[in-house]
Structure 1
């Protein structure tokens, strides 16, 4: 009979793919901005389309606004109403609707229609896509919170790789000079395939014995109870009262006792805590993840895309400078930061250094604003060389991935396993809150340049 430990690698791969799914669709959608602007910034004279003189739709700005509102609203709603809708329905339903929305968007690439109709359909698609993405992300964070900490790192790394894919796609588009229509069709078909893959992975996950030990509320029969506790305690499980030490290997090991088994079994059948009670236990991590993403979104990409090469990047290199040094560097280093958490977790969740490190990232805001941005009124250029910008972006992105991943993995450890899903849903809301606050702050910072 197959041992549960043999499934751990498959569980990690599936969580990595599910992490990609939460951000891959939107990343590819954003990469097709050129296609949307081409379709909306044209005026028709007779049967001939000509470039328009004004951007009456302000698509980029409206896209950011329409995407953030449902993301924030439905992550909050998911935090309170998740108990009334089964996890399986929320996750599968969200992925199915996201798939249908991308099929619709891909089909519209080849359909000619009036600009106003196309604009309204696109904005409606963006709204509903982010609505379902919010529910999906919150539900998956809750699911991941039931597993050992290292699996949160795999999930978060998958999210980072989604950004790498979109950055590579953008880079290839710039180099190949592909027309926006064909590029957009490829972009929208790619997340369709990825969503189907993620859906299949999610359906397969409950069939893995290792996953069932953590995801099921209780064993299906009494003979499984001892196996359940033994496997779970063989993981380096951490609890708030143990000061971050394993119950088996820590200096004050409690050992493997019958009373521990009974306590664990009793905990599984206790009622879940109210949302506000869970928030009281994780509020520090909630504020930390808000701060991390607020700092990141305040300058990336609104400010960072304005940086221009000074000397080294010329010709074709200058054309791909933003795609390469802004988007690709950020996403790669963000992924590196998230991956590091699978082997290093410092500071610990109880350490006062953790919020200090989070707040210290604010220094990246003025540093990136002082890079080589030609169009400025108030601030001088201090870091003119491209390598200075690349170094700052690398550290900025790596700390974003590292600290964000620790926040999302630490929070479920501060509550009982029964409340891990609630903690994950709440953390997703505060993540979205940080994104919204950062996006709003970026308008102010841009005016201060």
Structure 2
């Protein structure tokens, strides 16, 4: 098959599958985050100690954020160095199966009436910890995998991740508006990610059977074979004879003297070493030197985003009391952010500006810092130090829209640009490193959010 005979993505099946894979990677974080009301209802109870009522607070949101980001950070770092020891199929399939099992456990616990709230809290926190460990491995593997396909597939993958939050936000709205009892609503809520993860697993298993995916995902082995063939045809000694161009060069050199022939022979004998060197994957440090700008950008974007969302934005209050107050945060905070984030990621399938080489790219990423004070000056309650400059609901919604769209856009560009800045054989290393810095940004943002919230 010639180079021009590249298989086509018939029915756009590969694009659809990577969209589903992107969605599946962020289901755990989004569904646990938006279920905070359910968990707080089960955990925040009143105990009587010596006849005195004592309200026991577990600070679920704080612990959930911490235990979601720390394992993601730690295991992504481990994945960056050890991914070569475990095959890609085992890492991706095993992670999806584990995530599915933990979601099933969470759904089952909805129907289990645990009187010991400490036990329920411990099991939930352990579930969040372990499920995010597998998410880290899954994301690192899939980012490297999608980096082997044309750039638009990276954007499609990131768009799928953005839609995961929208799914969770819509599920939360349905739960709030539902007429069924809270327990049944919560059960239906957690069955949704179980089905989503199962579909994600089947989609990944289908991927190698598609000709277009098989062609591109085998680029690493094809790259190595192509490099070897090229060097061999350029003058590697084969079966004691000079092959290809080197043979022709040696024949011409014979008329110019035996010393030049010997020089050509020495160069030819050195070329197998060059072949071996080209086949070896670059070290993690070598890959990092090529992608450090993108690594900084994805870290900074998520640091800014997580520093105010949801810790600050969830405490913004509407100026219109009544029924709308019940839905305000669900719509203007969670749904608005997730739709905007998805729109930002989706835009990159059409527009990719600035280019990865442009110095303007990191500058625009730094400009997003302005959203931190803008959101802190919204109608956040309660507050002790800062004044309110943007009290109206429309002002908050507008800032949230720009905040979320820019977040999704720059994250998607950073993650899709990085694997393209290295050779195909190093794409997975670049993907794993970018996932680590993504996790670092999430962790830094989550830690910074406590200080920013206290400053209001």
Bin the TM-score by the shorter chain. 0.7 to 0.9
Paired position in structure 1 for 2:233: none
Q: CA deviation at 1:365?
A: 0.3
Paired position in structure 2 for 1:41: 44
Paired position in structure 1 for 2:118: 116
Instruction: Tell me how far apart the structure 2 counterparts of residues 318 and 193 of structure 1 sit (CA, whole Å).
Output: 31
1:211 aligns with 2:213: yes
Which is further off, 21-30 or 159-168?
Answer: 21-30
Secondary structure at the residue paired with 1:5?
A: coil
Whether the aligned pair in 1 keeps the contact of 2:172 and 2:189 (CA below 8 Å) is no
Instruction: Tell me how far apart the structure 2 counterparts of residues 436 and 44 of structure 1 sit (CA, whole Å).
Output: 34
Paired position in structure 1 for 2:248: none
Whether the aligned pair in 2 keeps the contact of 1:146 and 1:214 (CA below 8 Å) is yes
1:328 aligns with 2:335: yes
Q: CA deviation at 1:33?
A: 2.0
Q: CA deviation at 1:170?
A: 1.3
Paired position in structure 2 for 1:152: 154
Aligned equivalent of 1:273, options 262, 265, 282: 282
Q: CA deviation at 1:63?
A: 1.5
Paired position in structure 2 for 1:229: none
Instruction: Tell me how far apart the structure 2 counterparts of residues 342 and 268 of structure 1 sit (CA, whole Å).
Output: 35
Instruction: Tell me how far apart the structure 2 counterparts of residues 202 and 144 of structure 1 sit (CA, whole Å).
Output: 12
Aligned equivalent of 2:299, options 267, 290, 307: 290
Q: How does 1:229-378 map to 2 (within 5 A)?
A: 270-310=279-319, 313-378=320-385
Which is further off, 371-380 or 431-440?
Answer: 371-380
Secondary structure at the residue paired with 2:125?
A: helix
Instruction: Tell me how far apart the structure 2 counterparts of residues 431 and 140 of structure 1 sit (CA, whole Å).
Output: 14
Instruction: Tell me how far apart the structure 1 counterparts of residues 9 and 68 of structure 2 sit (CA, whole Å).
Output: 40
Higher CA-based Rg? 2
Whether the aligned pair in 2 keeps the contact of 1:348 and 1:354 (CA below 8 Å) is yes
Paired position in structure 2 for 1:243: none
RMSD of aligned residue pairs (Cα, Å)? 2.3
Secondary structure at the residue paired with 1:54?
A: strand
Secondary structure at the residue paired with 1:213?
A: helix
Q: CA deviation at 1:91?
A: 0.3
Secondary structure at the residue paired with 2:112?
A: coil
Instruction: Tell me how far apart the structure 2 counterparts of residues 398 and 197 of structure 1 sit (CA, whole Å).
Output: 27
Aligned equivalent of 2:27, options 24, 28, 43: 24
Q: CA deviation at 1:31?
A: 2.3
Whether the aligned pair in 2 keeps the contact of 1:160 and 1:335 (CA below 8 Å) is yes
How many positions carry a matched residue from both structures? 400
Whether the aligned pair in 1 keeps the contact of 2:45 and 2:57 (CA below 8 Å) is no
Cα distance change of structure 1 residues 400 and 70 upon mapping to structure 2, 3 Å threshold:
same
Cα distance change of structure 1 residues 53 and 35 upon mapping to structure 2, 3 Å threshold:
farther
Paired position in structure 1 for 2:444: 437
Instruction: Tell me how far apart the structure 2 counterparts of residues 407 and 269 of structure 1 sit (CA, whole Å).
Output: 26
Instruction: Tell me how far apart the structure 2 counterparts of residues 435 and 71 of structure 1 sit (CA, whole Å).
Output: 9
Instruction: Tell me how far apart the structure 2 counterparts of residues 34 and 383 of structure 1 sit (CA, whole Å).
Output: 26
1:94 aligns with 2:95: yes
Instruction: Tell me how far apart the structure 2 counterparts of residues 35 and 291 of structure 1 sit (CA, whole Å).
Output: 31
Paired position in structure 1 for 2:183: 181
Q: What TM-score do the two structures reach when normalised by structure 1?
A: 0.85
Instruction: Tell me how far apart the structure 1 counterparts of residues 78 and 221 of structure 2 sit (CA, whole Å).
Output: 27
Paired position in structure 2 for 1:57: 58
Q: What TM-score do the two structures reach when normalised by structure 2?
A: 0.83
Q: CA deviation at 1:26?
A: 2.6
Q: CA deviation at 1:41?
A: 2.2
Whether the aligned pair in 1 keeps the contact of 2:46 and 2:55 (CA below 8 Å) is no
Cα distance change of structure 1 residues 445 and 6 upon mapping to structure 2, 3 Å threshold:
closer
Q: CA deviation at 1:177?
A: 5.4
Q: Deviations over 1:284-337 (max 9, x none)?
A: 100000000000000011111111112xx3311111010001111111111111
Instruction: Tell me how far apart the structure 1 counterparts of residues 11 and 306 of structure 2 sit (CA, whole Å).
Output: 34
Q: CA deviation at 1:269?
A: 6.7
Q: CA deviation at 1:174?
A: 2.1
Paired position in structure 2 for 1:237: none
Whether the aligned pair in 2 keeps the contact of 1:101 and 1:125 (CA below 8 Å) is yes
Instruction: Tell me how far apart the structure 2 counterparts of residues 12 and 35 of structure 1 sit (CA, whole Å).
Output: 35
Instruction: Tell me how far apart the structure 1 counterparts of residues 168 and 277 of structure 2 sit (CA, whole Å).
Output: 41
Paired position in structure 2 for 1:82: 83
Paired position in structure 1 for 2:405: 398
Q: Deviations over 1:33-78 (max 9, x none)?
A: 2222222223578xxxxxx842342222212211111111001111
Whether the aligned pair in 2 keeps the contact of 1:152 and 1:409 (CA below 8 Å) is yes
Q: CA deviation at 1:105?
A: 1.4
1:166 aligns with 2:159: no
Instruction: Tell me how far apart the structure 2 counterparts of residues 24 and 336 of structure 1 sit (CA, whole Å).
Output: 18
